[in-house]
């Protein structure tokens, strides 16, 4: 086994529990990305992509071995969509940031706002329809063990909700923090149930950060003036 293989398979043992270091490191990158997102920094997106790539290998146990011997298709699949949506958010925020610098201002990459009624209706409809369809898809694929039906509903809720939250963050909507809270309320218990403890701990801590971040963005949306280019939907 070469050095890269050893690093990939390295585990931390706590009592009888074995935890992959890539799960710990991937979540650390995710947490750093969350802080960057709260501060509206462009670097939050590439940092998050690194964490998503690592966590994909953790949750997709059918292809990459993990101590839990469990595959969470929703958790693994959402890492792929995180990467896709993060590339969109990265490009959008960079575009706004460059425009700010061209004007000689030091504004953050995005100015928060609430989604419009039409935008909110669209993402809520997508969320509901996505959960209904994907729980059936995940159940048809199976979990590799006799999972109860609620398991697939939870996995679908987390999967679709994460896509909604990440897209809403890219658009600079305050709604994205509330979407993450809805995801965490289901995600933390499911991760504990599946013995992905580092991820469960991160999501629990992240929940507190989400509440704080929501009020930070809410304050900014009230105090800061949106440039015309953001109101017009740059990158839409």
- Measured distance CA(159)–CA(147) in Å, rounded: 17
Contact 130, 48 (CB under 8 A): no
Its domain, for residue 198, covers: 3-231
The residues, any chain, with a CB within 8 Å of residue 225's CB and separated by 6 or more, are 111
Helical H segments across 60-148, by residue range: 73-102, 117-141
pLDDT at 121: 97
pLDDT at 157 over 50: yes
- Measured distance CA(113)–CA(118) in Å, rounded: 14
pLDDT at 10: 64
Nearest-10 crossing angle of helices 149-171, 117-141? 150
Q: What is the number of domains present in the chain?
A: 1
- Measured distance CA(51)–CA(112) in Å, rounded: 24
pLDDT at 125: 97
Measure the N-to-C terminal CA separation of the chain; round to a whole number of Å.
47
Of the two residues 211 and 61, the one the predictor is more confident about is 211
149 assigned to some structural domain: yes
pLDDT at 158 over 60: yes
Mean pLDDT of the region 206-232: 76
- For 104, phi then psi, to 5°, come to 80, 20
**Across 3-7, 115-119, 129-133, 212-216, least confident range:** 3-7
**Across 44-48, 71-75, 150-154, 155-159, least confident range:** 71-75
For the segment 47-101, what is each residue's pLDDT rounded down to a tens digit? 999 999 988 888 776 455 655 556 666 677 778 888 988 898 899 888 888 887 7
Q: What integer best gives the mean pLDDT of the chain?
A: 81
97 assigned to some structural domain: yes
For the segment 101-112, what is each residue's pLDDT rounded down to a tens digit? 777 776 777 889
236 assigned to some structural domain: no
pLDDT at 214 over 50: yes
């Amino acid at each position: 086994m070469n050095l890269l293989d050893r690093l990939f398979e390295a585990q931390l043992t706590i009592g009888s529990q074995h935890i992959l270091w890539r799960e710990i490191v991937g979540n650390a990158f995710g947490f750093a990305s969350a802080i960057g997102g709260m501060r509206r920094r462009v670097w939050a997106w590439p940092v998050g992509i690194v964490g998503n790539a690592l966590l994909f290998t953790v949750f997709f146990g059918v292809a990459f071995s993990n101590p839990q011997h469990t595959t969470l298709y929703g958790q693994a699949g959402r890492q792929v969509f995180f990467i896709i949506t993060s590339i969109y958010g990265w490009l959008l925020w960079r575009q706004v940031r460059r425009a700010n610098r061209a004007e000689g201002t030091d504004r953050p990459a995005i100015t928060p706002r609430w989604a419009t009624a039409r935008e909110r209706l669209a993402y809520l409809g997508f969320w509901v329809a996505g959960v209904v369809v994907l729980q059936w898809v995940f159940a048809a694929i199976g979990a590799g063990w006799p999972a109860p039906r609620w398991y697939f509903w939870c996995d679908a809720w987390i999967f679709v909700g994460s896509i909604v939250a990440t897209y809403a963050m890219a658009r600079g909507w305050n709604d994205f923090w509330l979407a993450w809270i809805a995801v965490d309320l289901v995600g933390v218990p499911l991760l504990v149930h599946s013995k992905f403890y580092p991820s469960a701990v991160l999501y629990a801590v992240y929940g507190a950060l989400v509440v704080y971040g929501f009020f930070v963005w809410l304050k900014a949306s009230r105090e800061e003036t949106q440039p015309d280019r953001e109101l017009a939907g740059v990158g839409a």
